[in-house]
Amino acid sequence: MTTTAFSSQQTVRPLPMELLPGNVAVMTLENPEQPLVILDRSLLNRIDRTLDELPADCTTLLIRSCDEKVFVAGANLKEIDSLGDDELRQYLAEGARIFRRIADLPCPSVALINGPALGGGLELALHCTGIVATRNNAKGRSYPIGLPEAGLGLCPGWGGTQRLPGRVDVETAVKATASGSPFTTDHSPDGLVDAFVDSVDELVSTALSWIESNRHETLVRTVQQLDPESTLGMVSGIRDTLGDNAAAVAVCEAVHAGVERGLDAGLAAERRLLVALRGTDETRKKLNAFFEGQR
């Protein structure tokens, strides 16, 4: 079913998609206009369009990156910062809708991570049934996987606060997100990556083996599947230690909203809080320094 997107779907070019034996679809993320694969309006539209093209009898969706350096380096912060508040809320809602389509697929999906998966890149992967990753990047080194938004005075906006605590220990997930400290592949908490491989060439076969072994389980994980009382108690305890760190407090608030009132409420809280944080003096200083460092 085609839904409303940023632009007419008829004008959007699908991402490269390969069909493997057994009706396995492999979607390849690409962003030719950028030096690295990053999530922007164009790529989100292309993901949306490609999901429309999935065969009706698709048994598994694999999502990989064309970029040897990264899986997805994050969202395009300059694009996000150029939007007015109402536009940004709509942008975040559209991204969440597109990612939700992956989580709601009738077939399992696996993100094939070959390098840094940061911010929106990890959020995309967290919407998949599973995550399979190489232990090292193309240069033979460990690499980061995480949600660094709080380090820039922001909070995740595409479901990271709702999905990461559903995959790894709640305290570990919330503290890492609230501090904006990504994990690395050589210090990865249990549950973040479902299977590691030594070579990019092993990603597809390992993903298919993992899916076959877990096909009868419900594996798209969110914080809503955890015990509400203990989860809320833990999040409240973490929040009490954060002082006046607005971004960290926002992360806890979004998790709390999702546990107390459901996934949609948690996603709405992310959007509201990210838009509010963006205009604060502290966040403006961090964003301006970030943009200056990219010149």
Q: What is the pLDDT of residue 2?
A: 38
**What would the pLDDT profile of 197-247 be if each residue is shown by its tens digit?**
999 999 999 999 999 998 777 667 899 999 999 999 999 999 999 999 999
Residue 112 pLDDT class (50, 70, 90 cuts): very high
Q: What mean pLDDT value characterizes the chain?
A: 94
CA distance 39 to 217: 30
Confirm if 145 and 122 have CB atoms less than 8 A apart: yes
pLDDT of residue 24: 98
Residue 282 lies in a domain: yes
- Does residue 4 form part of some domain? no
261 located within any domain: yes
Instruction: Say if 2 falls within a structural domain.
Output: no
Residue 1 lies in a domain: no
pLDDT tens digits for 66-96? Answer: 999 999 999 999 999 999 999 999 999 999 9
Which residue in 195, 193, 164, 157 sits closest to 181, CA to CA? 164
Q: What's residue 220's pLDDT?
A: 72
Could you please report the per-residue DSSP string of 204-271?
A: HHHHHHHHHHHTTS-----GGGS-HHHHHHHHHHHHTT-TT-HHHHHHHHHHHHHHHH-HHHHHHHHH
**What pLDDT, on the 0 to 100 scale, is given for residue 5?**
44
Asked if residue 129 has pLDDT above 90, the reply is: yes
> Per the domain annotation, does 3 fall within a domain?
no
Residues of the domain holding 57 = 9-293
Q: How many domains does the chain have?
A: 1
117 three-class SS: strand
Among 121, 129, 245, 228, residue whose Cα is nearest residue 170:
228
- Name the amino acid, one letter, at 277: L
Output the pLDDT for position 6. 53
Say which CATH number the domain at 75 has. 3.90.226.10
